[in-house]
Amino acid sequence: MPIQLIHVIREITDTVSFDNRRKAQAFCADIDHYQTTHWEPNTDIIESEDEVIIKIEMAGVKHGDVSVKVRNGKLLICGERREKLPHRPVSFHQLEISYGMFEKAIVIPEILEHNNISATLGEGILEIVISKKSDIVEIPIHDRHGVDANR
């Protein structure tokens, strides 16, 4: 009996277009307003003496479909994993991979917020490295005419 019920549910969901099932999603265009997303990628955070490494599982996410920003003490990672469906009728037997928009916010200490941060996407992993070394930045002082007064 339960197998028949599953089969009926699958028949109903297979007939609904995939785009219609996702209308409630939101893209993270305005990062000040976090909205409900379809899924959240798995994350590892590792700290060494010199840096903090954040690894985020991004299998199937293209380079142009993900962005990384720092705002108000948060590292904001958002984007989309797009699903490629066949152009012919199919039956779903198991669906465990999440697709659609995602957004992840990771709080970082203020002391790291303005340090050197780099991001690399490869082999299904987004790796963000935050340096723990904060270099002193010397800011040149100009006179009113734009000439460096320290010369």
Q: Write the pLDDT tens digit of every residue in 30-84.
A: 444 444 447 889 999 999 999 999 999 999 999 999 999 998 889 999 999 998 8
For β-strands 125-131 and 117-122, DSSP reports them as antiparallel
CB 77 within 8 A of CB 56: yes
pLDDT of 18 strictly over 50: no
Which amino acid would we find at residue 1?
A: M
- Please tell me the pTM assigned to this model: 0.65
Confirm if 52 and 129 have CB atoms less than 8 A apart.
yes
- Domain ranges in the chain are 2-131
What are the tens digits of pLDDT across the range 76-134?
A: 999 999 988 888 888 888 888 889 999 999 998 888 888 899 999 999 999 999 999 88
Strands 66-71 and 51-57 turn out to be: unpaired
What is the second-level CATH architecture of the domain 2-131? Sandwich (2.60)
Structure tokens at 44: 């590892």
